């Protein structure tokens, strides 16, 4: 059974699935991260703040599992990349981790004590627990595209600030804006009244800066990263960045037309295309070294054995469709808007 | 302290903290499922209230369990890069499968259960909690299969320091892993039993919600008794399994230095690790150690002084180990060299020995408490002393489980993968200062969150259930 697919083909499949997994994580957790970032700016009253929490309520935990899976798949399919990337990005990853811990706890703890100060403290953590991961994921992925300072042994030669160059910061701001628009579009679907109107207006307002930064990021990518060489070699791949731009404009058009679900879907598609654009551009490397191109780690060098990749593909082919079916069912189950009345129930956040 | 020690400490701190929350999730999820099934079957609203009340405590506990688990997954890469590079083919794929098979199921259905009381039918809601119970116990199985492979690496082959998967079925059917899984699950379920017993007993003494807590207590008393009996029986069989695959761990547990046939079990003994012998050993039970280890009073039990050299020779032959090869080269060119001497290829005896005794001693206490609780299951409210003892006993299973894991993990040293890879060989070439900083952050953050979480659990446990027929919000 192990020789149905060649090792090379399996590596390419898993590389694409790896990129796709990160993309799905960004799309799903992206709206949680975005809403949390916007919390202090959009929600003014206690009920509005609780609406924001409950708009993410049944989803954020399941969404975070996509991050665990993306990490797990990196470990399983490309152990060398996992080892090098995670140890190189030590500080940003640990900060990301602490931020996510505070986010989870702020969901669970906030409503347990009815005291304005207690709740205010957790609102701060909710904001930081979403804003910081959004920023760091952007900085980290910009770093991946650009290459990180690793030597021939995969040891990180940079310091804490190596990733915070112009391109890295641009990536950070880009991700924060991307998630914020995505979050505003989600809140637009999940709330009602003034808060919903504010969320819609916010998506409108942030669209232009997002587009500006996205264009700047695409242009800067040509100067700071080798990503475009893949696209110059295989021109048909150019459809991915084109699709990304199209979907970004579609967000605006759909919003204007009042088609709010389509606007959210366009935003999701945009984020998926952005991720795939970057990841595919890295091929055949999975970790780029900014010190010397020879130190970069290729997909082949990083990958697990043919047997492991085959088994994991079987597991994924059987389980992932099931996961998608029951997660979609759960999304549908809680699809209705958060209302004043639903906030009264004893299990609301 | 150097990067090796700091990384090990950090993993120990984070994994122990994670395991404060996991066992209650594993056990209480099943108890919740039983309560809700009783509700669906009988239609008795009391069982629904029980599922809701214990479920609230479950959720307060659950969130921290989830997020502290991510720190562990991340740490394999951040702090144990050489290990990850070496074992991703097997260990990594098991973690990925765990996430795909168990975590999605758990996280989706806990949301359905938490938010779905008015949205789905009774039966679907009950199914949701069974799915959570199944998924959390399934995820424990996968993580212990991964750990079991570190303890007994089968189904794989090491080529140039990297594990390559040979036979997945062998990895999955690892007898060490299954034995350790059974041991862990029984312990976790027992912990949940004592949790429910202790809280119920306190309320019953105060005459609070007699029917509600009486039912909870009775259910937990039977559950706990069965587990308190099953655990030592299975524990003995697990000991035999440990002996078979890791004689060094057993020898460290018992502070057994010299190989001997028909080895006695000393009731009074204390290890003198420095001189590789015991300070004293008295009150021998003849042939008992041989019997416990092999089920045969005549069997030879290998001693630490013999095992170390033999395991080391096997390790050198298998991996071509050279003591002067650096385990890591740091960014500044510093070489980390940690030579292992043959006689040091045994676990630290004192912590293994003491943890084992603590674990076994507590298991005895649990048996007594479980019997007493069961006998008083109908009138515990009239026995305030027993009730208070049960409440005070809530932390004990936690301590017992930690001690058990200390035996399992400290007793595995100096190996990260048994007789194949040294723990020191697994580290990342990250600066010690970074690890010191992150360790300090973990201690502070986890410390604060742990205190808050326990405080909230206590508060909601003492508050008791919402009055019957009441459905108003907290806010």
Q: Please write the tens of the pLDDT for every residue from B212-248.
A: 999 999 999 999 999 999 999 999 999 999 999 999 9
Q: What are the angstrom distances between the C-alpha of A300 and each of A85, A267, B392?
A: 16, 33, 56
Looking at the structure of chain A, the number of domains it has is 1
Contact at CB, A157 and B63, closer than 8 angstroms: no
Give me chain A's average pLDDT, please: 92
pLDDT over 80 (residue A337): yes
B450 contact residues in A (CB cutoff 8 A): none
3-state secondary structure of A13: helix
Tell me the CA distances in angstroms from B110 to A28, A66, A207, B36, B98, one per residue in order: 18, 16, 35, 14, 17
Using 50, 70 and 90 to split pLDDT, how confident is the model at A33?
A: very high
Mean pLDDT value across residues B413-431? 93
Chain A nearest CA to B335, separation (Å): 12
pLDDT in tens, B137-190: 999 999 999 999 999 999 999 988 899 999 999 999 999 999 999 999 999 999
Tokens of A171: 């990536």
* DSSP 3-state of B117: coil
> Average pLDDT for residues A324-329, to the nearest whole number?
93
Q: Among residues of chain A, what percentage have pLDDT more than 90? A: 81
Tokens at B368, concatenated: 């007594």
Task: Give chain B's count of helices (H) and strands (E).
Answer: 16, 10
**In this predicted complex, what is the ipTM?**
0.92
The C-alpha atoms of residue B414 and residue B348 are separated, in whole angstroms, by 8
- Residue B173: count other Cβ atoms within 10 Å of its Cβ: 13
Q: DSSP for B307-329, please give it.
A: HHHHHHHHHHHHH---TTS-SEE
Tell me the pLDDT of chain B averaged across its residues: 93
Beta bridge partners of B415: B422
**Where does the pLDDT of residue B343 fall: very low under 50, low under 70, confident under 90, or very high at 90 and above?**
confident
Residue B63 pLDDT class (50, 70, 90 cuts): confident
Contact (Cβ atoms closer than 8 angstroms) between residue B97 and residue A312: yes
Structure confidence at residue A5 as a pLDDT band (50, 70, 90): confident
Q: Does position A229 have pLDDT exceeding 90, yes or no? A: no
Output the pLDDT for position A31.
Answer: 95
The residue ranges of every structural domain in chain B are 3-244+352-412+428-463
SS (H, E, C) B25-82: HHHHHHHHHHHHHHHHHHCCHHHHHHHHHHHHHHHHHHHHHHHHHHHHHHHHHHCCHH
In this structure, what are the phi and psi dihedrals at residue A155, rounded to the nearest 5 degrees?
A: -90, 135
The residue of chain A with its CA nearest to that of B107 is A62
Chain A residue with the nearest C-alpha to that of B81: A83
pLDDT value for A4: 79
Report the C-alpha gap between B237 and B239 in whole angstroms: 5
More confident residue, B260 or B32: B32
Which residues are CB-contacts of B326 (< 8 A; sequence separation ≥ 6)? B335, B336, B337
Chain B, residues 38-77, CB within 8 A of chain A, namely 59-60, 62-64, 66-71, 73-74, 76-77
A210-214 average pLDDT score = 96
C-alpha distances in Å from residue B315, one per residue of B23, B341, B342, B346: 35, 12, 10, 12
What's the average model confidence in pLDDT over A247-253?
95
pLDDT of B469 over the 80 cut: no
pLDDT band at A341 (very low <50, low <70, confident <90, very high): confident
Query: Is residue B332 predicted with pLDDT exceeding 90?
Result: no
The answer to whether position A349 is within a domain reads no
| Residue B58: both structure tokens together | 């479950």
What's the whole-number mean pLDDT along residues B435-462?
94
Strands B277-285 and B265-272: antiparallel
Residue B200 pLDDT exceeds 90? yes
Q: What is the average pLDDT across B306-330?
A: 90
> Are residues A156 and A90 in contact, defined by beta-carbon separation less than 8 angstroms?
yes
- pLDDT at position B46, please? 93
Q: Which of A24, A61, A297 to mutate to test the interface with B (most CBs of B within 10 A)?
A: A61
Q: Is B469 exposed, middle or buried (0-12, 13-18, 19+ CB in 10 A)?
A: exposed
| Residue of B429, B438, B452 with shortest CB distance to A109 | B452
Q: B422 Cβ partners below 8 Å, 6+ apart?
A: B327, B338, B340, B414, B415, B416
**Minimum Cα–Cα distance from A323: chain B residue:** B104
How far is residue B136's CA from residue B138's CA, in Å, rounded to a whole number?
5
- Cβ atoms of B258 and B203 within 8 Å: the answer is no
A159: confidence class by pLDDT, cuts 50, 70, 90:
confident
B74/A259 Cα distance (integer angstroms): 40
**In A, which residues are within 8 Å of B89 by CB distance?**
76, 79, 304-305, 308
Winning range, highest mean pLDDT, from A58-67, B263-272, B435-444? B435-444
Nearest-CB residue to B428 (from A87, A315, A330): A87
Question: Is it the case that residue B475 has pLDDT exceeding 50?
Answer: no
pLDDT given for residue B472 in this prediction: 41
CA distance A78 to chain B (A): 8
B468 touches chain A (CB under 8 A): no
Residue A18, pLDDT > 70, answer: yes
With CA atoms as reference, the chain A residue closest to B106 would be: A62
Residue A235 inside a domain? The answer is yes
Residue span of the structural domain in which A111 resides: 7-334
| Residues in B touching A148 (Cβ below 8 Å) | none
Q: Find chain A residues with C-beta within 8 A of B86's C-beta.
A: 79
Q: What Cα–Cα distance (Å) separates residue A274 from each residue in A24, B54, B159?
A: 11, 44, 38
Q: Which residues pair with A297 in a beta bridge?
A: A287
Q: How far is B94 from chain A (nearest CA, A)?
A: 8
Long-range pairs, A271-275, Cβ under 8 A, ≥24:
A271/A23, A271/A26, A271/A27, A271/A30, A271/A178, A271/A182, A272/A20, A272/A23, A272/A24, A272/A26, A272/A27, A273/A240, A273/A241, A273/A243, A273/A244, A273/A247, A274/A178, A274/A214, A274/A244, A275/A19, A275/A22, A275/A23, A275/A26, A275/A141
CA distance B164 to chain A (A): 7
The answer, yes or no, to whether the previous bond of A284 is cis (omega within 30 of 0) is yes
Residue B470 has what pLDDT? 56
> Given a cut of 80, is residue A302 above it in pLDDT?
yes
Beta-carbon separation of A61 and B456 below 8 A: no
How far is the C-alpha of B39 from the C-alpha of B32, rounded, in Å? Answer: 11
- Could A79 and B84 be called an inter-chain contact, meaning their C-beta atoms sit closer than 8 Å? yes
Distance CA B291, CA B300 (A): 10
Instruction: Look at A75 and B78 and tell me if their CB atoms are within 8 Å.
Output: no
Rounded CA separation B155/B139 (Å): 21
Mean pLDDT, residues B292-321 taken together: 91
Q: How far is CA B380 from CA A338, B441, B461, in A?
A: 44, 44, 18
Report pLDDT for A2: 56
pLDDT value of position B474: 38
What is d(CA B169, CA B156) in angstroms, rounded to the nearest whole number? Answer: 11
Nearest to B33, CA basis, from B180, B234, B192, B191: B192
């Amino acid at each position: 059974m192990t020789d149905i697919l060649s090792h090379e083909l399996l590596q390419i499949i898993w590389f694409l699935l790896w990129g796709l997994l990160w993309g799905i994580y960004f799309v799903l957790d992206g709206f949680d991260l975005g809403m949390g970032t916007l919390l202090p700016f959009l929600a003014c009253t206690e009920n509005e703040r609780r609406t924001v929490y409950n708009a993410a309520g049944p989803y954020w935990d399941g969404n975070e599992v996509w991050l665990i899976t993306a990490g797990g798949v990196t470990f399983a399919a490309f152990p060398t990349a996992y080892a090098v990337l995670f140890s190189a990005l030590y500080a940003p990853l640990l900060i990301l981790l602490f931020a996510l811990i505070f986010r989870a706890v702020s969901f669970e703890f906030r409503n347990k004590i009815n005291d304005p100060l207690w709740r205010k403290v957790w609102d701060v953590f909710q904001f930081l627990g979403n804003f910081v991961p959004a920023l760091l994921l952007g900085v980290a992925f910009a770093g991946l595209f650009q290459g990180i300072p690793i030597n021939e042994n995969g040891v990180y030669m940079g310091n804490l600030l190596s990733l915070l160059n112009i391109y890295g910061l641009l990536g950070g701001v880009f991700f924060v804006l991307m998630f914020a628009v995505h979050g505003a579009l989600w809140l637009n679907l999940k709330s009602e009244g003034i808060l919903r109107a504010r969320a819609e207006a916010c998506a409108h307002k942030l669209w232009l800066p997002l587009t500006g930064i996205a264009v700047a990021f695409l242009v800067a990518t040509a100067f700071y990263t080798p990503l475009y060489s893949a696209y110059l070699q295989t021109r048909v791949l150019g459809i991915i960045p084109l699709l990304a731009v199209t979907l970004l404009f579609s967000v605006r058009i759909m919003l204007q037309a009042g088609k709010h679900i389509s606007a959210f879907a366009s935003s999701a598609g945009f984020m998926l295309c952005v991720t795939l654009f970057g990841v595919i551009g890295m091929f055949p490397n999975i970790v780029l070294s900014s010190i010397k191109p020879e130190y970069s780690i290729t997909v082949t060098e990083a990958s697990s054995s043919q047997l492991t990749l085959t088994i994991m593909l079987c597991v994924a082919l059987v389980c992932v469709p099931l996961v998608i079916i029951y997660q979609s069912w759960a999304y549908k189950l809680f699809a209705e808007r958060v209302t004043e009345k639903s906030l009264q129930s004893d299990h609301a956040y | 302290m150097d990067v090796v020690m700091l990384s090990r400490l950090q993993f120990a701190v984070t994994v122990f903290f994670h395991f404060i929350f996991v066992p209650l999730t594993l056990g209480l999820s099943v108890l919740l499922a039983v309560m809700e099934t009783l509700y669906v079957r009988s239609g008795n609203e009391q069982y629904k209230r029980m599922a809701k009340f214990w479920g609230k405590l479950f959720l307060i506990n659950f969130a921290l369990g989830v997020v502290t688990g991510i720190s562990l997954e991340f740490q394999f890469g951040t702090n144990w890069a050489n290990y990850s590079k070496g074992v991703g083919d097997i260990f990594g794929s098991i973690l990925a499968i765990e996430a795909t098979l168990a975590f999605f199921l758990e996280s989706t259905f806990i949301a359905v259960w938490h938010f779905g009381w008015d949205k789905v039918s009774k039966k679907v809601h009950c199914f949701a909690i069974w799915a959570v119970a199944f998924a959390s116990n399934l995820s424990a199985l996968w993580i212990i299969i991964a750990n079991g492979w570190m303890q007994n690496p089968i189904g794989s082959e090491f080529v140039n320091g990297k594990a390559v998967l040979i036979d997945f079925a062998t990895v999955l059917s690892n007898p060490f892993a299954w034995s350790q899984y059974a041991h862990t699950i029984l312990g976790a379920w027992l912990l949940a039993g004592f949790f429910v017993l202790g809280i119920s007993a306190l309320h019953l003494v105060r005459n609070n919600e007699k029917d509600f807590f009486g039912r909870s207590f009775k259910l937990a008393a039977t559950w706990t008794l069965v587990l308190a009996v099953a655990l030592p029986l299975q524990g003995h069989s697990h000991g035999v399994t440990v002996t078979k695959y890791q004689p060094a761990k057993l020898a460290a547990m018992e502070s057994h230095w010299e190989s001997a046939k028909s080895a006695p079990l000393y009731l009074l003994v204390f290890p003198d690790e420095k001189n590789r012998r015991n300070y004293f050993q008295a009150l021998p039970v003849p042939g008992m150690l041989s019997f416990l280890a092999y089920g045969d009073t005549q069997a030879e039990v290998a001693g630490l002084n013999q095992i170390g050299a033999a395991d080391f020779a096997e390790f050198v032959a298998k991996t071509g180990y050279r003591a002067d090869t650096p385990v890591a080269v740091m960014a500044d060119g510093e070489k980390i060299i940690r030579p292992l001497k043959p006689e040091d290829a045994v676990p630290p005896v004192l912590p293994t020995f003491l943890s084992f005794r603590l674990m076994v001693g507590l298991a005895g206490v649990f048996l007594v408490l479980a019997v007493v609780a069961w006998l008083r299951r109908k009138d515990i409210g009239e026995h305030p002393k027993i009730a208070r003892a049960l409440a005070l006993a809530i932390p004990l299973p936690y301590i017992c489980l930690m001690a058990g894991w200390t035996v399992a993990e400290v007793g595995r040293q100096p190996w990260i993968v048994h007789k194949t890879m040294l723990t020191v060989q697994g580290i990342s070439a990250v600066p010690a200062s970074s690890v010191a900083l992150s360790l300090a952050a973990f201690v502070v953050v986890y410390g604060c969150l742990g205190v808050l979480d326990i405080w909230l659990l206590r508060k909601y446990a003492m508050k008791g259930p919402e009055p019957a027929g009441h459905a108003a919000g907290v806010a």
